[in-house]
Amino acid sequence: MRSRKRVGAVELPRYVWSRPNKIGRHYYSYTRHRGRDWAWPTIPIPFDPQTQEFWQRCKQCEALEAGQDGGEWRWSWRGPSGRLYPLPSPKAPEFWPAIDDAGKRDASRDGEDRKTFGALVEAYTAHKAYADLADLTKRDYDRHLREIVRIWGDEPVSALTAVDAQEAIDSFQSTPSVARYFRAVLSKLIGFGVPRGFATVNVVADTEKVEHEVEPHEPWPDWAFELFFEHARPALQLPVYSALYTGQRSVDVVPMARPAAGANAIELVARKTGRKVFVPIHSEYREILTRTHLDHPALHLREGGEPWTLAAYRTAWQRDFTSVNAKGTPTSAPAAKKAAMARLREAGLVFHGLRKNAVNMLLEAGGTEAEVSAIVEMSEQMVRHYSRDVNKRRLARNMMRKLEEGWAETRRNLFGEGASAR
């Protein structure tokens, strides 16, 4: 016996029927106008009311249209936009996938017609402007693009006001760096949409810029290197040298390929920017590479001879610095090592700080901001930001040298011709 109204405590939608088998398991189907001459053929629903998919299928059935043509039933589904999409027979295995696909196409076409944020994000991510971004940049963009779709996905871009945008930006005020990036991505997205008819103006231009000064990571002092190389796990050490002598990010350092014998430089493609990087090999670094040479295409290897992955290296680094394993259990590291690593940890020293060490060394050696930028794959503006202390010392030394060179005349102007040195 079939029942439509209720199965247990669940009230079924209109035209949805249940039928128990011999062991009491219920099967569900959709039959519009059941029991009448103009009743539709039965459509099995392959889920039960305990699942979200069941209710989704029931809702999709409500939008079905059917009729007979020459004795054969023709099926279609009408989307929220009002468009009609032909469907195969409900007996065909592709029936439900066809409805799902129609729903996606209807939402996309409706979004295109109404110029929604969802449609704009889809257009942007399919464009060369997005495809040309470095993989790491795409990852960061994707996080904010998903948030934009979550907030305004079905809303027309032209309906967004500066007040709306500012409210969304302010929701990240506890994390200024995130707020700044969200604002930048939103501005980039709407800027992309303006010449494509999604909006007439970029309202983000009228929002407040997020005041946030990025504090560079601290460079490692001499004592930190001494403690690290004395106590750290041996397989963690060569990547530190590589970071110090190349100035690259950990994402590029850890998977470095071993340079060929006699090579004058390490060449790679920076994952963050997608640009080619050429770093001449320093003589002392070459000596380190020679001493640690193993016949393997990868430069940085675990103790067992397998190349490090970035995730595994970071995990091992964290374990060495905290003396706690992945399960949260303290390791059996010697007390001296635990004390040394605790001191490094308490000083806030991280792998990325080695990048500032590299910048500082290059600047101390007299490198220009353009020269340093070329080696460490960093903008000249960021080089200046990283190296404020170094530049101050350089300026102070230059000024004192000028004072020494012109001291005789300066002294006469200060003390007069007859004054003697004291």
User: Which neighbouring-strand residues pair with 330?
Assistant: 324
Sign of the dihedral defined by the CA atoms of residues 376, 378, 381, 387, in that order: negative
List the single range of 85-94, 323-332, 346-355 with lowest mean pLDDT.
323-332
Cα 416 vs. chain centroid, distance in angstroms? Answer: 66
Domain chopping of the chain, boundaries: 6-110, 117-206, 222-395
Per-residue pLDDT reduced to its tens digit, 376-391? 988 888 888 777 766 6
> Do residues 185 and 144 make contact, with C-beta atoms less than 8 angstroms apart?
yes
Question: Confidence band (pLDDT; 50, 70, 90) for 1?
Answer: very low
Residue 415, helix vs strand vs coil: helix
Q: In the prediction, which pLDDT does 417 show?
A: 66
Spatial distance between the Cα atoms of 121 and 145, rounded to a whole number of angstroms: 7
Spatial distance between the Cα atoms of 272 and 251, rounded to a whole number of angstroms: 8
Q: Contacts from 364-373 at CB under 8 Å and sequence distance 24+?
A: 364/390, 364/394, 372/247
As a whole number, mean pLDDT of residues 109-127 equals 88
> Do residues 76 and 88 make contact, with C-beta atoms less than 8 angstroms apart?
no
Spatial distance between the Cα atoms of 117 and 148, rounded to a whole number of angstroms: 8
- Superfamily designation of domain 117-206: Tyrosine recombinase, N-terminal domain (1.10.150.130)
Pick the CATH number of 222-395 from 1.10.3720.10, 1.10.443.10, 3.20.20.150, 1.20.140.10: 1.10.443.10
pLDDT surpassing 90 at residue 281: yes
Per-residue pLDDT reduced to its tens digit, 28-38? 999 999 989 89
> Do residues 297 and 286 make contact, with C-beta atoms less than 8 angstroms apart?
no
CA distances from 47 to 26, 51, 60, 91, 408 (A): 10, 7, 13, 16, 95
pLDDT surpassing 50 at residue 331: yes
Spatial distance between the Cα atoms of 334 and 329, rounded to a whole number of angstroms: 15
pTM of the model: 0.55
> Do residues 31 and 15 make contact, with C-beta atoms less than 8 angstroms apart?
yes
pLDDT surpassing 80 at residue 110: no
As a whole number, mean pLDDT of residues 277-290 equals 94
Question: Confidence band (pLDDT; 50, 70, 90) for 78?
Answer: very high
**Short-list 233, 278, 236, 272, CA closest to 252:** 272
- Residue type at position 195: P
Question: Confidence band (pLDDT; 50, 70, 90) for 419?
Answer: low
**Residue 395: CB partners within 8 Å, gap ≥ 6?**
none
Residue 259 has a CB neighbour count (10 Å cut-off) of: 16
Residue 87, helix vs strand vs coil: strand
Question: Confidence band (pLDDT; 50, 70, 90) for 256?
Answer: very high
Per-residue pLDDT reduced to its tens digit, 178-200? 999 999 999 999 999 999 999 99
Between β-strands 10-11 and 6-7, what pairing exists: parallel, antiparallel or unpaired?
Answer: antiparallel
Residue 391 has a CB neighbour count (10 Å cut-off) of: 14
